[in-house]
Structure 1
Amino acid sequence: MSRIFSTLKRHALRTLLSFCILAFFIAHTTGASRWHFIDDLELMTYDTRLRMTMTGTHNNDIVIVDIDEKSLSQIGRWPWKRNVVAKLMNQLFDTYKINLLGLDIVFAEPDESSGLHIMEQLAETQFKDQPTFKTTLDSLKPNLDYDQLFADSLNFRRIILGYSFDYRGNTHAGVLPTPVFNKAATEKAQQEYGVGLIEANGYVANLPIFQDNVVSAGHFNVIPDGDGIVRRVPMLNAYNGELYESLSLAMARVILSEPFVEFGTVEASGYHSVEYLRLGSLKIPVDNYLRALVPYQGEPGLFTYVSAVDVLNGNIAPDILKNKIVLLGTTAQGLLDLRPTPVAGVYPGVEIHATLLSGLLGERIMQNPVYATAMEIMLLLSIGVVMIIILPIFSPLLAMGGTIIVILFMFWLNVRIWEELRLIFPLASTSLLMLSLFLFNMSYGYLVETRRKKQLANRFGEYVPKELVDEMSKDPSLNLSMESENREMTVLFSDVRGFTTISEGLSPKELSTLMNAYLSPMTEIIHEYRGTIDKYMGDAIMAFWGAPLHDAQHATHAIEAGLKMLKRLDEIQASFQARGWPPIKIGVGLSTGIMSVGNMGSSFRMAYTVLGDAVNLGSRLEGITKQYGVSFVVSENTCKAAPDYLYRELDYVRVKGKDKPVGIFEPLCLRSEALQQVLLELALYEQALKQYRQQQWTLAQQAFTRLYEQYPERKLYKVYLERIDYFQQNPPTEAWDGVYTFTTK
């Protein structure tokens, strides 16, 4: 818990901005502010889940009689004469014995195509004195009154007429059926249950002669969502304060022999809401506007289609229509009953109603429960808070992987709930929240890291390699500072021997080129082993390990760098010789100890550097390398800090400027890599050095002579022979401790 609080504190601004993002989504979900792009994304995720879970099952119980292009080409353009439609009704019920017929068409105007009304006018005017004309007309009238013929074909049959509400204009044509809920019941639903109504201004309904001869009628309005896609159909539509049922609901009610539609309500903690409509034991899930989601099962064609002209001509096999639920509609493009849906850009309106009716009877209507909003808020809060806490801790790769896995898991779980429970829970807001928090944190982290890296580069870029700057920038907890502090560190000094002589034999340009060719690989090696360049002093290099980043292996890294520098120098000598340059030899001195490191200098110029006795010792050790004929000298503290290396003890000395003597050593190689010959030489040398310090001059002289004869290139052995020769002539005092004092740097 303390780590969580420290993380939030360290990333206070990022955390605050992340909570602002979370508040943005909470405000949308609660309705405090609506953001259309989230709603649009939710519709897209709904369509995706719908298409993923479609079964594509063909429904054999519902048949669509199609006023298709074939029917229009043979019978003529729509609307057909009512006597033709009457014949179609008779064929369906008398010949094919269908169970129920729903009409996705409306008959709002009288059919005067027979000319009957003209002949009646003639009978009252020009032919009023001719009884024969009137008698003949009366005998022909039953066959010429097409509306009556059609009304007669409707009577005593299970037929549901269709009609349309007008939401924009103020059209009033035909007559509406009896409403399902009167004004009092509608007002109660609004006041007690908070029902939102889809209110129409007018209607285009069927003529009274037709409406009076059918069981019922239902509206066939489909209202698309904001993106123009038809996903829902209003089960109940309001007009003049009363509620009227849809075509599919009216057909379901007749099939189930249920005289009434009831509201199914949910009550919790004083909250009342209509969650479904009830037809007896059948529940029809609806939203707050009494709309039901169309349970699309696939692309158009999942119902049996028969051409209307084939029904009229009796060309349909009887078993296709017998006892079936039939919808009469059109797929002809010119009749404008084709709709965009989530499963197809062009979908027949009549099949939408067939699909909805099939879903009602099969109880396959998806439900968006009233508690979905509360669950969405809880999900947003829980996921949001967790991500706000952990994203600053995680690496970009881990954060990206975790975010993707959680989003995929949420999607999978959502689809499973959809399939198993037929419940719809919002998906877009939680997914978008996770994505937004991830992108924000990664962008913020990148920008802050870039800024921090730039700051570190400005502070340390000229001292340390780019890799260390990257490492420092990745850990804000380091809190790196250039203020002075004491640390145990290791310092390195290297210098070119005889540089004055070398410089005198070269032109200024050649000298500059030579120094660049020498200093560049030396610097690369120091950076490779995590060293910090302090400064270049002409031909000399000063570097240190252990700052600005702490380095527990500072002594080891410094020795590795020193050995690598000497090896690399041998490698580049050939290229120097090819250019006509003189060979270069260097001395390297290392010292380990407590040093003061930080930005130091004056008000005119500052530098990030190290100071202290251990630093001065390092400089002195580099200077005395040539006294012993070696290239690399380290202090005894360095040896203790890097025990994995094999050393040759050089001497016990008191350097200029220091009273306390120190042991000095030459690093040779890793102990694990030492050759047997080297170990034998060291054993003989250590015995000789012990005899020297015990003032056993004869024995020591014999040992060093033997070593010098075997290794004449070792100046060290000659140095000790000269000292022994001196001490034999000038014996030291009894207080002599074996320390050799240097009086020069």
Structure 2
Amino acid sequence: MDKSKKLLTRMIRPLGCLLILFVFLMHSTGTWRIEFFERLERIAYDIRINMTLPGEGDPQIVIVDIDEDSMRELGQFPWPREYLAELIYRLFAEYEVSTVGFDIVFAEPDRRGASEVLGRMLEEKPELEEILLPLMAEMNGDQQFGDILAQVPAVLGFYMDRESEDSTPSVGDLPEPLEIISPVSPDLLPIPEAFRFSGNQPILQNSALSAGFFDNPLVGSDGIFRRVPMLQKYRGQYYQSLALAMMRSLLDMPPVELIVSGDEENPILEALDVGGFRIPVDNQSGALVPYYGGRGTFEYISIVDIFREEVPKERLQGTIVLVGASAPGLLDLRTTPIESVYPGVEVHANLIAGILQQSFRHQPAYTLGGEVLLMLLIGLVLTFALPRMPPLLILAGSSVLFISLWSLNLWLWEEYNWVFPLAASMLLAAALIAYQLSYGYLVESRGKRQLTRLFGQYVPPELVDEMDQDPSSISLEGESRDMTVLFSDVRGFTTISEGLTPEELTRLMNAFLTPITGVIHDHRGTIDKYMGDAVMAFWGAPLNDPEHASHGVKAGLEMIKVMEELGPEFKKRGWPELRIGVGLNTGMMNVGNMGSEFRMAYTVLGDAVNLGSRLEGLTKQYGVDLMVSETTAEAASEYEYRQLDLVRVKGKHEPVAIFEPLGLKGMLDEKTVSRLERYHNALEHFRNQEWGYAERVLDELKQEDNHLLYEVYLERIHLYRENPPGADWDGVFTHTSK
């Protein structure tokens, strides 16, 4: 695989993550809005609303309700206007309320009052005109209602529409346009614009202190009331919402100041200031409704109870009264985040309470920058961190990430009333995690299966996992590496096998090759092949292993120990106790997939490999189980060694020093250390041809330990005394057999 292809393979995974991040950033910046993301964001907003509802309304705000009891008592709505005049009189004169607002529009003249009855009488008896006309004027419901409105701080409601007046003309009158203070022209802001209206009868509108609209052009695409505009535009003039109008009536009608950021060409509306009360809004003047609870959170009082004088004065004195309808037949019901059937009048109550208590949630202009930064952080961290993590850690980390995102978001919501987008960032994290896991399962698992197929018979599963982290570093092509090779063979196996049936021999082979293979795998070794009772393994490929010599020596020592531990079990089965010889060499070797077009094998070749095989064959001649070369001893210097000899093996001209590993330095007992020092001293005198001294020390060691090695050198001393090697002897012993 060439470098460019390797680079492309390695870049596919992060590029996929960055593409996902790019899509989410496009959505967040508004370049490409994705409806599914917006729907999830609305759901996340509703969940937070319901989790954090205060559950108690503002006792200053009371809803005087046109409910079913009132309609049973007073008749179907609309009622004669004198009823409403009576209601206003009682509320202000008897109950001393602060202000009254009507979530009702009086677009039609009164058709149910006494003046209407007198009018019909006049049509039937024109001769009574002189008597009836004065009575009609005196008993005109609209006039009575207007007269009382002119005396109190009452606010009417009206409705604005996006339909053109060409199709449906406007009716009634609008209140005076709103007085606005702004550093920029409000016309530069995308405040909702209406093209017609349904206003109140002129006699009523001209008498009332003010009026406010109660329609909502900013209702969500799902029909849920989450935000409402504080302002609307009509024919170049600006008008206020019912909640804003009622708040202004309490404050002696101050002007509305627009709090604007940005430059003059691209202003951003951030809030409205009304007599020192700040209302956070978006660029369309939309305020998020600060819901306090479900239906009935604010106190409802039936109109008929007021007429019956059943309401104590203290329940209404000084309150802000909203007159509205909760009766299902009047259709003034809305869908909100907390209830699907919610009285519209109570939406206004929540808004007024939010202004008074300054409890509005808000989403300032810099929220966009915060969301983009958070997404970049999530995207980049997950893109480059997840490929380095195992699946279980990814799942655990994902849980921590989602909990952290939710907790941080809820903290901003509760502590700062900041509506920070939640769904997109969590969905981004979920998408990246799902992509990474899917990629790992669908793509990398395929690569891992390939690696397992190629190397599973050679290397332990944990090495396959490591190779899977960087498959591009693994090559089947032949290459030269510094490695360590191991050969092991069972002593006298031919004789042993002759005494066993084929079935027993198979079981015996499996019984000792399985733990031997486990030891090699445990120490990061690669099985090259089994040759009958012999095992060939190596370290340093297919994965680079800087400590290949140390791992090889440790494996060799443990193999000897395992074979000793198998002795009692073999004896129970009636099998002979097995002993093995192990040879290790370290050096440059050729490694790769080698063979023919019919059969390939991942193996090592070279002189260093051949020397390892020769060393295994020499173990029985020195009476040792494990033998290593000088290069292995130097590379695994943490072990204490006994130098066995300086030999010239068959097929090599250069002499080789051979050693027996005894254990880690500092871990040998004093007796062993003493014998080792005396032995090395005797070996030095032997190579100096000081036969007598060497013989004496070796003979003493033999008496203590009876090791074959001492006998080997005692025999050589006897030989060299009869046939001196000469003054130029280099101490090398030449072996003529393998």
Name the TM-score, length of structure 1 as normaliser. 0.84
Superposed displacement of residue 213, structure 1: 3.6
CA 1:386/1:634 → structure 2, altered by over 3 Å: closer, same or farther?
closer
Give the match for residue 11 of structure 2: 12
- Structure 2 residue 252 is the aligned partner of structure 1 residue 257: yes
Give the match for residue 610 of structure 1: 604
- Structure 2 residue 520 is the aligned partner of structure 1 residue 523: no
CA 1:93/1:468 → structure 2, altered by over 3 Å: closer, same or farther?
same
CA 1:443/1:310 → structure 2, altered by over 3 Å: closer, same or farther?
same
User: How far does the alpha carbon of each residue in 1:613-638 deviate from its partner, in whole angstroms, 9 at most, with x for none?
Assistant: 22211111111222233322222332
CA 1:579/1:685 → structure 2, altered by over 3 Å: closer, same or farther?
same
Partner SS, residue 61 of structure 2: strand
In the alignment, is the contact (CA less than 8 A) between 1:220 and 1:246 conserved in 2? yes
CA 1:270/1:405 → structure 2, altered by over 3 Å: closer, same or farther?
farther
Amino acid paired to 1:40: R
* Match of residue 228, structure 2, among 228, 233, 236: 233
User: In the aligned structure 2, how far is the partner of 1:667 from the partner of 1:367?
Assistant: 75
User: How far does the alpha carbon of each residue in 1:554-604 deviate from its partner, in whole angstroms, 9 at most, with x for none?
Assistant: 222222212222222222233434444344332211122232323333454
User: In the aligned structure 2, how far is the partner of 1:635 from the partner of 1:416?
Assistant: 67
In the alignment, is the contact (CA less than 8 A) between 1:591 and 1:618 conserved in 2? yes
Partner SS, residue 226 of structure 1: coil
Give the match for residue 84 of structure 1: 83
User: In the aligned structure 2, how far is the partner of 1:722 from the partner of 1:267?
Assistant: 101
* Match of residue 314, structure 2, among 319, 329, 353: 319
CA 1:215/1:710 → structure 2, altered by over 3 Å: closer, same or farther?
closer
CA 1:654/1:342 → structure 2, altered by over 3 Å: closer, same or farther?
same
User: In the aligned structure 2, how far is the partner of 1:339 from the partner of 1:246?
Assistant: 17
* Match of residue 177, structure 2, among 176, 180, 184: 180
In the alignment, is the contact (CA less than 8 A) between 1:101 and 1:327 conserved in 2? yes
- Structure 2 residue 592 is the aligned partner of structure 1 residue 598: yes
CA 1:725/1:380 → structure 2, altered by over 3 Å: closer, same or farther?
closer
In the alignment, is the contact (CA less than 8 A) between 1:174 and 1:208 conserved in 2? no
CA 1:179/1:264 → structure 2, altered by over 3 Å: closer, same or farther?
farther
User: In the aligned structure 2, how far is the partner of 1:385 from the partner of 1:702?
Assistant: 74
Superposed displacement of residue 544, structure 1: 1.2
Give the match for residue 734 of structure 2: 741
Give the match for residue 3 of structure 2: none
CA 1:248/1:734 → structure 2, altered by over 3 Å: closer, same or farther?
closer
In the alignment, is the contact (CA less than 8 A) between 1:494 and 1:587 conserved in 2? yes
Q: Which runs of 5+ in 1 are unaligned?
A: 1-6
In the alignment, is the contact (CA less than 8 A) between 2:114 and 2:136 conserved in 1? no
Superposed displacement of residue 526, structure 1: 0.8
Superposed displacement of residue 283, structure 1: 5.2
User: In the aligned structure 2, how far is the partner of 1:244 from the partner of 1:643?
Assistant: 90
Amino acid paired to 2:481: R
User: In the aligned structure 2, how far is the partner of 1:615 from the partner of 1:701?
Assistant: 35
Superposed displacement of residue 639, structure 1: 2.5
Q: Which runs of 5+ in 2 are unaligned?
A: 1-5
User: How far does the alpha carbon of each residue in 1:170-229 deviate from its partner, in whole angstroms, 9 at most, with x for none?
Assistant: 6668513246279xx9xx968x514242536663x4444533442333222245312332
* Range 559-568 or range 372-381, more displaced: 372-381
CA 1:8/1:143 → structure 2, altered by over 3 Å: closer, same or farther?
farther
1:476-515 equivalence runs, <5 A: 479-515=473-509
Partner SS, residue 650 of structure 1: strand
Give the match for residue 628 of structure 1: 622
User: In the aligned structure 1, how far is the partner of 2:666 from the partner of 2:580?
Assistant: 26
Amino acid paired to 1:736: W
* Range 403-412 or range 209-218, more displaced: 403-412
Give the match for residue 100 of structure 2: 101
- Structure 2 residue 341 is the aligned partner of structure 1 residue 342: no
In the alignment, is the contact (CA less than 8 A) between 1:189 and 1:195 conserved in 2? no
User: How far does the alpha carbon of each residue in 1:203-261 deviate from its partner, in whole angstroms, 9 at most, with x for none?
Assistant: 3x444453344233322224531233212222234567765432222223333333765
Superposed displacement of residue 527, structure 1: 0.8
* Match of residue 450, structure 1, among 433, 445, 448: 445
In the alignment, is the contact (CA less than 8 A) between 1:180 and 1:260 conserved in 2? no
User: In the aligned structure 1, how far is the partner of 2:7 from the partner of 2:734?
Assistant: 59
CA 1:446/1:227 → structure 2, altered by over 3 Å: closer, same or farther?
same
- Structure 2 residue 37 is the aligned partner of structure 1 residue 38: yes
1:46-61 equivalence runs, <5 A: 46-47=45-46, 50=49, 58-61=57-60
In the alignment, is the contact (CA less than 8 A) between 2:528 and 2:537 conserved in 1? yes
Amino acid paired to 1:87: E
* Range 233-242 or range 318-327, more displaced: 233-242
Superposed displacement of residue 115, structure 1: 7.8
Give the match for residue 720 of structure 1: 713
* Match of residue 579, structure 2, among 566, 580, 585: 585
User: In the aligned structure 1, how far is the partner of 2:145 from the partner of 2:485?
Assistant: 109
1:317-466 equivalence runs, <5 A: 317-361=312-356, 364-373=359-368, 376-377=371-372, 380=375, 384=379, 388=383, 424-441=419-436, 443-444=438-439, 449-466=444-461
CA 1:112/1:584 → structure 2, altered by over 3 Å: closer, same or farther?
same
* Match of residue 157, structure 2, among 153, 162, 183: 162
User: How far does the alpha carbon of each residue in 1:312-351 deviate from its partner, in whole angstroms, 9 at most, with x for none?
Assistant: 1222222332343211123344443343333455543222
Name the TM-score, length of structure 2 as normaliser. 0.85
Partner SS, residue 220 of structure 2: coil
In the alignment, is the contact (CA less than 8 A) between 1:263 and 1:278 conserved in 2? yes
State percent identity of aligned pairs.
Answer: 47
Amino acid paired to 1:24: V
* Range 116-125 or range 729-738, more displaced: 116-125
Superposed displacement of residue 102, structure 1: 0.8
Partner SS, residue 672 of structure 1: coil
* Match of residue 558, structure 1, among 546, 552, 556: 552
User: In the aligned structure 2, how far is the partner of 1:391 from the partner of 1:711?
Assistant: 59
Superposed displacement of residue 528, structure 1: 1.0
CA 1:589/1:394 → structure 2, altered by over 3 Å: closer, same or farther?
closer
- Structure 2 residue 16 is the aligned partner of structure 1 residue 21: no
In the alignment, is the contact (CA less than 8 A) between 1:177 and 1:216 conserved in 2? no
Give the match for residue 543 of structure 2: 549
User: In the aligned structure 2, how far is the partner of 1:370 from the partner of 1:567?
Assistant: 72
RMSD, matched Cα: 4.0
In the alignment, is the contact (CA less than 8 A) between 1:179 and 1:242 conserved in 2? no
CA 1:418/1:534 → structure 2, altered by over 3 Å: closer, same or farther?
closer
User: In the aligned structure 1, how far is the partner of 2:682 from the partner of 2:307?
Assistant: 127
Partner SS, residue 199 of structure 1: coil
User: In the aligned structure 1, how far is the partner of 2:667 from the partner of 2:271?
Assistant: 84
User: In the aligned structure 2, how far is the partner of 1:241 from the partner of 1:729?
Assistant: 128
Partner SS, residue 673 of structure 1: coil
Superposed displacement of residue 657, structure 1: 1.3
User: How far does the alpha carbon of each residue in 1:114-163 deviate from its partner, in whole angstroms, 9 at most, with x for none?
Assistant: 686566545544x567x6xx788679757975555444443433222223
In the alignment, is the contact (CA less than 8 A) between 2:158 and 2:197 conserved in 1? no
User: How far does the alpha carbon of each residue in 1:270-319 deviate from its partner, in whole angstroms, 9 at most, with x for none?
Assistant: 32344445656655443333322223344455544333222112222223
Amino acid paired to 1:310: D
